[in-house]
Amino acid sequence: MKNRKRLLGAGITLCICLVVIGTAVVFSAPGDTDDPVVTKSYIVDQVIPEIKAYIDERFGIAASEGVVTPSSDSYMVVNVSAGKKVICEAGTELILRMGQGTIIATAKGGLADTTSGYDLANGTAMPSNHQLVVPVADGRGFTADTDVIVMIKGGYSIQ
């Protein structure tokens, strides 16, 4: 009888301990300041400001200067109003889809028309549906004679 009471008391004590430990595990929230892996304050105070600074540095400066530098290797469809100039960075590719434009070239050369295999000189009409490549960032690009839709891959600025 004495052993039975002792065993029952030990069993009840064990159950109470398991309930207390289980409750502590269930009600502890991941991501709070006591989380040993990554704390919420670390994410809020360190990681998020670093990401924001990177985004501001990468895109904020370019946007304030009117320069667009796409982050992927895909074409962007750009609408350009008549009379505006598009000045391109080195390696920029252009395809005129609608409208008329005039090539802006320098003394070093013009835009490479990879579709026909010619170099387009300053003042030349921009051909539709031809892939044009700007070899050097020295002020080359085009002037929109009418409202233009152009596909651009690479960096450029609209002036």
75, 138: one domain: yes
Q: What is the pLDDT of residue 131?
A: 92
Instruction: Kindly give, in sequence order, each residue whose CB lies less than 8 Å from that of residue 102, ignoring residues fewer than 6 positions away.
Output: 123, 124, 125, 126, 142, 143, 145
Average pLDDT over residues 143-159: 90
Q: What pLDDT, in 10s, does the model give residues 46-99? A: 888 888 888 777 665 555 455 555 555 788 888 999 999 999 888 899 999 999
Kindly report whether the global pTM for this prediction surpasses the value 0.85: no
Co-location of 48 and 99 in the same domain: no
Question: Which uninterrupted H or E stretch holds 133?
Answer: strand 131-133
pLDDT at 56: 74
Average of per-residue pLDDT values in the chain: 81
Integer Cα distance of 92 and 132 in angstroms: 8
Residue 9, pLDDT > 60, answer yes
Could you tell me if 102 and 136 lie in one domain? yes
Instruction: Please state the φ and ψ torsions of residue 101, each to the nearest 5 degrees.
Output: -140, 160
Q: Does residue 101 have a pLDDT over 90?
A: yes
What percent of the chain stands above pLDDT 90?
A: 25
- Domain assignment of residue 81, given as a range: 70-158
DSSP 43: I
- What is the number of other CB atoms lying within 10 angstroms of the CB of residue 41? 12
Show which of 12, 44, 64 is a domain's final residue: 64
